[in-house]
Chain A
Amino acid sequence: MDAEAPRTLFEKIWSRHRVKEREDGQTLLYVDRHLMHDGTAAAFDALRRRGLAPRAPERTFAVPDHYVPTDTRRVAEIADERRRGLVETLARNSAEHGIRHFGLGGPHQGIVHIIGPETGLSQPGLLMVCGDSHTSTHGALGALAFGIGSTEVTHVLATQTLWQRKPRTLRIAVDGALAEGVTAKDLILAVIARIGAAGATGHVIEYAGGAVRALSMEGRLTLCNMSIEAGGRAGMVAPDETTYSYLAGREYAPKGAEWDRALVRWRALPSDEGAAFDREVSLDAATVAPMVTWGTSPEDALPITGAVPDPDAAPDAEGRAAMARTLDYMGLLPGTALEEVAVDRVFIGSCTNSRIEDLRGAALVARGRKVAEGVRAWVVPGSEPVKRQAEAEGLHEVFRGAGFEWREPGCSMCVGTNGDIAGPGVRVASTSNRNFMGRQGPGARTHLLSPAMAAAAAVTGRLTDVRRLLAGEA
């Protein structure tokens, strides 16, 4: 390819990290940052069995999140032996190999995809991986970041590299402005509803356009987080002043002369004028309403003003059968207005929506209201720093005053591996990323929505258009 040809953000990072390219197109990529969590014991075990040690432990960072309790910060108080063992094993493996570990009870602990950006470890131009599909989150800072499996985690530990075939590129341009009460979560749900849960399979997404540029870093993180829910290998937003001002002064961000040099590199990263993408999709932000899912795939999303769809409207017999199965699992009748669906539990948290802006948005709705009778509502901040910041702003008092439980940071009910699950048939309004069957517990029914929408559901006891509450309705 002509060296002068315009290149995308993705292509610039990809080519900068190429250690070796085989004739068959497989590329060995160098990994700048490798994030690990407490679900990675098998990868360390595989490394040990081969008699290998991490090649670059200084590029590896570990934090327990999947198995940590949200009612205590003491490892010894984790009642379940296996979960406690996984939290302890991560600490032990980190110590043994010289890996920086943000331990439970420490000031940095949190969900791996919250603390990467928050500490300044995630930066523009980096190639980052983690044994977790939501690693796409870090692309919000202009990094190329993607999830990998356990064998690949072992490979990265041993070699600091990874074999990949170059993905295709998809540009999603969102112009116009998001309306009041409409957030990045609603935008990404609208994108997934539009292109489908496999709409970006084999692609790296670059989100662009005025509505994306106008998003805060928190909003961009939410957007990129759910790229995997559209099948995308990664999601990215070109770095700009929002990125730089977010990163400046963070603990692991470059300092002094290194910051100046980094800025020069970062400013050269955005896709060049005229750079070609394999596919382009465009969306008008003004048409996006607060969204909620009704089914068991993130693509099953509709504006809150809509109704549960009718299987009879599906185009073919297989589609009708699939939708009928979904509605049976979800306990929903076709034609029911989404706003009439009553919820049992509310979960505000996860790597998608547990940052300070998310909590502020939810608190704005919760302030002066009460959680509806019979509803159990949780707020699980994404990290210790988010928790401290929220408490400094008094948000915890707003939530508690309204009847929410204010808990300790971790993945919690998004994936339930720590034991925070909902029972069979229990309906959860959740700010997490997956409404899969059984995701929040066997038989649990998940509706994905934004933090403000989740708070609205908590106080009314049903899925609710948050715009009505923001307009002053009780």
Chain B
Amino acid sequence: MEPFRRLDAVAVPLGEPNIDTDRIIPARFLSRLRSVDHAPFLFHDARRLPGSDDENPAFPLNRPEWRAARIVVAGRNFACGSSREAAVWALYDHGVRCAVAPSFGDIFRNNAMKNGLLPVALPAEAVADLLAQLEARPGATVSVDLPAQTVTFPDGATHGFDVDPFDKQCLLEGLDELAYTLSLTDEITAFERRMGRENAPP
């Protein structure tokens, strides 16, 4: 995993609430291996005019100022719904490394952390303020500082955010959780012995 420390990047406003992972990547693009570039699937249908392959010019990611955005700012309950990790892969392959919203789908939040994409939850008023600033100044940049746990808005205002210490360490060092867990094999074996037949497989 690529480490995450600081990010100064263009942020795109996607202010609707409840943007689900089906919208982020429609189901027909799922079940590809991770080695496949998922960027073309990102918001695939939302980026196009209905029933056509032509771009919907109104969709924020299609606007020249926001095409290269690496931060997504969204309404409440961003990336709710399906557990599809490909939603993170599509964002990541497009270049997105951070999502800011009042709240996230729990599974997306976990998936994001494991891929080096930082979910930042801020109070709804702060996100509304940020969305307004981004709409007013398309192409404006936002700064995210993970060690300091702060986000700096285009107007210079700085907001702190919470992050799980374990997740923070993994992100900062690009650490792989699986390698760490494999080092705990003895403890897992001891647990299995302790449980014996309880909850054993049929």
What 17 additional pairs, Cβ within 8 angstroms, besides A32-B201, A437-B46? A20-B187, A32-B199, A39-B30, A42-B32, A66-B31, A120-B202, A133-B81, A133-B82, A150-B86, A251-B202, A318-B128, A434-B22, A434-B82, A436-B81, A437-B23, A438-B26, A439-B22
Are B45 and A442 in contact, CB atoms less than 8 angstroms apart? yes
The answer to whether A468 has its CB under 8 Å from any CB of chain B is no
Are A42 and B33 in contact, CB atoms less than 8 angstroms apart? yes
* B interface, size bucket: 35 or more
A178 to B163, CA, bound (A): 42
Within the complex, the shortest CB–CB distance from B103 to chain A, in Å, comes to 5
A437 to B51, CA, bound (A): 14
Residues of A within 8 A of B83 (CB): 131-133, 147-149
In the complex, the chain B residue whose C-beta lies closest to that of A254 is B202
Are B164 and A165 in contact, CB atoms less than 8 angstroms apart? yes
* 8 A-B pairs whose Cβ atoms sit less than 8 Å apart in the complex: A20-B184, A22-B166, A24-B164, A24-B166, A201-B104, A231-B77, A436-B20, A438-B26
Are B28 and A436 in contact, CB atoms less than 8 angstroms apart? no
A297 to B192, CA, bound (A): 42
The answer to whether B106 has its CB under 8 Å from any CB of chain A is yes
* Stretch touching chain B among A70-78, A154-162, A215-223, A386-394: A154-162
In the complex, the chain A residue whose C-beta lies closest to that of B36 is A42
Are B106 and A322 in contact, CB atoms less than 8 angstroms apart? no
Contact of B106 among A201, A254, A424, A434 (CB under 8 A): A201
Q: Report how many A-B pairs have Cβ atoms within 8 Å.
A: 179
| Residues of A within 8 A of B (CB-CB), count | 79
Are A201 and B103 in contact, CB atoms less than 8 angstroms apart? yes
Residues of A within 8 A of B77 (CB): 197-198, 201, 231
Within the complex, the shortest CB–CB distance from A228 to chain B, in Å, comes to 7
A125 to B75, CA, bound (A): 36
Are B107 and A148 in contact, CB atoms less than 8 angstroms apart? yes
Within the complex, the shortest CB–CB distance from A213 to chain B, in Å, comes to 25
Contact of B31 among A41, A46, A50, A442 (CB under 8 A): A41
Residues of B within 8 A of A131 (CB): 83
The answer to whether A67 has its CB under 8 Å from any CB of chain B is yes
Once A46-B34, A148-B83, A201-B103 are accepted as A-B contacts, the answer to whether A159 and B178 lie under 8 Å apart by CB is yes
Are B202 and A26 in contact, CB atoms less than 8 angstroms apart? no
Within the complex, the shortest CB–CB distance from B116 to chain A, in Å, comes to 11
Are A436 and B184 in contact, CB atoms less than 8 angstroms apart? no
Are B166 and A42 in contact, CB atoms less than 8 angstroms apart? no
The answer to whether B60 has its CB under 8 Å from any CB of chain A is no
Contact of B199 among A50, A125, A198 (CB under 8 A): A125
Are B51 and A424 in contact, CB atoms less than 8 angstroms apart? yes
Within the complex, the shortest CB–CB distance from B49 to chain A, in Å, comes to 11
A45 to B36, CA, bound (A): 12
